[in-house]
């Protein structure tokens, strides 16, 4: 269903600025027996709302298709993300003085990768995640998890059964919610008066400035700035009180701290001023993005075609959603990239949506020794390169696709 009004503010002034065509769902990996079947495809277009300063896609896909039927992302397969989560939990325990009488709730808790850090030190937790396989992994790890979509109704039930939450964590989910207003209302309902909400999500400024167009897919309804978060929270009686930047997380991410009371840090004031000065609250900031994206798509395709015409063999690393967007919007089929490797055992044996490269175990790189490996999961570049040192030592080379296609020497 095409969206013509802003999902946050309701404004009808929604201005499109990037069209990536019609693509399959980025997480809808294909089983071998389904390769001959047609795949559902949906328009993939970005628009900007001047009232909310929110960047958003203009197509709604049913959330069950995105996060239940086709969702095979397990957070625990990233060492970098595990370290980041452990540091986050440790800081919260220390700074909020959490203990046995506290309650930490994580929305989109995935396989329990973050909450188990609280469980290990005896702090009560509750996870919420609609993906059944990930929730089952969390429960097996000792993290109680509700297999549901979060909203105000569920928040009231949790409040009545477990009490108010001292900390609510919402990492990499605030882009994924069709009804962002009901979700945020639920956060306010569940949060204790002196509690905090921490929200992590990729920063729209990095998306635009670094031309990270492959992070655009139907699972990401929104692309947030401090300005859009601040305006959205005020509409729900909440305050953006702090912000922290993680340049090496998912191509550049922010952690916003939100509460019931106005306790804005100087960092928040500075970020809001910098975003206004840079124009993030104006459509002009976004209009040049499409031209730069077209240039990257052209240059990457030309590079791969030239390498193949020279007789080189090419594989890819990372069966991530961003990889599916890149392969499909650039037009990289199996004639250019033969296969994709990924550590996630739940994805191995399946095929990439649309382009149908088989997904194999990373050990294949040493056995097959392709001349080049396209880093689809470039946001974990350092981690992957460290893991694949033997491949590099054997003469292999990596290709980083954004912000400019580059062969690492």
C-alpha–C-alpha distance, residues 201 and 252, integer Å? 9
Q: Is residue 379 predicted with pLDDT exceeding 60? A: yes
What's the mean pLDDT in 72-80? 61
Best mean pLDDT range from 23-27, 157-161, 376-380, 386-390: 157-161
What's the mean pLDDT in 134-156? 94
Per the DSSP assignment, residues forming a β-bridge with 258 are 197, 240
What's the mean pLDDT in 254-280? 97
Q: Which long-range contacts (C-beta less than 8 Å, at least 24 apart) are formed by 359-363?
A: 359/29, 359/319, 362/317, 362/387, 362/388
Q: Is residue 252 predicted with pLDDT exceeding 90? A: no
Which is nearest to 59 in space by CA: 40, 72, 39? 40
Q: Is residue 71 predicted with pLDDT exceeding 70? A: no
Q: Is residue 108 predicted with pLDDT exceeding 50? A: yes
Angle ∠(371,363,339) on CA atoms, nearest 5:
55
What's the mean pLDDT in 348-370? 96
Does the pTM of the predicted model rise above 0.75?
yes
Q: What percent of the chain has pLDDT over 70?
A: 96
On average, the pLDDT of the chain sits at: 92
Which is nearest to 8 in space by CA: 169, 222, 281, 261? 222
What's the mean pLDDT in 262-277? 97
**How would residue 45 be classed by pLDDT, with cut points 50, 70 and 90?**
very high
Token pair, residue 238, equals 């909440």
Q: Is residue 76 predicted with pLDDT exceeding 60? A: no
What's the mean pLDDT in 283-292? 92
What is the predicted pLDDT for the residue at 81?
80
Q: In the chain, what are the domains?
A: 75-287 (3.40.50.150), 301-407 (3.40.50.720)
Q: Kindly report, residue by residue over 174-194, the tens digit of the pLDDT.
A: 988 889 999 999 999 999 999
Q: Kindly report, residue by residue over 314-346, the tens digit of the pLDDT.
A: 999 999 889 999 999 999 999 999 999 999 898
Q: Are 323 and 300 in contact (CB under 8 A)?
A: no
Q: What percent of the chain has pLDDT over 90?
A: 79
Q: Is residue 68 predicted with pLDDT exceeding 50? A: no
Q: Is residue 74 predicted with pLDDT exceeding 60? A: no
What's the mean pLDDT in 64-78? 56
What is the predicted pLDDT for the residue at 133?
86
Give the contacts of 184 (CB within 8 A, at least 6 positions apart). Answer: 232, 233, 236, 238
Q: Are 218 and 44 in contact (CB under 8 A)?
A: yes
């Amino acid at each position: 269903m095409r969206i013509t009004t802003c999902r946050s503010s309701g404004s009808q002034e929604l201005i499109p600025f990037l069209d990536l065509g019609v693509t399959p769902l980025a997480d809808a990996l294909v089983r071998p027996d389904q390769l001959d079947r047609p795949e559902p495809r949906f328009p993939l277009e970005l628009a900007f709302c001047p009232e909310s300063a929110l960047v958003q896609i203009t197509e709604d896909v049913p959330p069950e298709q995105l996060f239940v039927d086709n969702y095979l992302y397990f957070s625990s397969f990233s060492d970098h993300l595990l370290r980041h989560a452990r540091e986050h939990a440790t800081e919260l325990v220390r700074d909020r003085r959490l203990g046995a009488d506290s309650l930490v709730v994580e929305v989109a808790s995935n396989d329990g990768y973050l909450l188990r850090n609280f469980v290990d030190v005896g702090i009560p937790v509750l996870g919420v995640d609609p993906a059944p396989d990930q929730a089952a992994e969390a429960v097996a790890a000792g993290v109680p998890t509700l297999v549901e979509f979060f909203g105000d109704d569920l928040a009231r039930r949790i409040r009545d059964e477990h009490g108010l939450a001292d900390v609510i964590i919402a990492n990499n989910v605030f882009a994924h919610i069709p009804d962002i207003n009901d979700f945020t209302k639920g956060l306010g309902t569940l949060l204790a008066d002196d509690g905090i909400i921490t929200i992590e999500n990729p920063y729209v400024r990095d998306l635009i400035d670094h031309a990270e167009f492959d992070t655009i897919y139907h699972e990401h309804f929104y692309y947030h700035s401090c300005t859009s978060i601040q305006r959205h929270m005020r509409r729900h009686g909440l305050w953006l009180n702090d912000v922290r930047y993680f340049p090496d997380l998912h191509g550049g991410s922010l952690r916003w701290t939100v509460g019931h009371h106005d306790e804005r840090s100087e960092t928040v004031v500075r970020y809001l001023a910098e975003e206004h000065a840079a124009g993030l609250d104006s459509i002009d900031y976004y209009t040049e993005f499409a031209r730069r994206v077209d240039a990257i798509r052209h240059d990457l395709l030309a590079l791969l075609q030239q390498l193949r015409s020279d007789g080189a063999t090419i594989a890819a690393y990372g069966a991530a959603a961003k990889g599916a967007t890149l392969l499909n919007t650039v037009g990289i089929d199996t004639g250019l990239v033969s296969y994709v490797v990924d550590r996630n055992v739940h994805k191995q044996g399946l095929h990439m949506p649309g382009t149908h490269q088989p997904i194999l175990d990373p050990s294949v790189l040493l056995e097959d020794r392709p001349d080049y490996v396209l880093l689809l999961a470039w946001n974990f570049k350092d981690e992957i390169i460290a893991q694949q040192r033997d491949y590099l030592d054997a003469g292999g080379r990596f290709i980083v696709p954004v912000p400019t296609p580059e062969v690492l020497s």
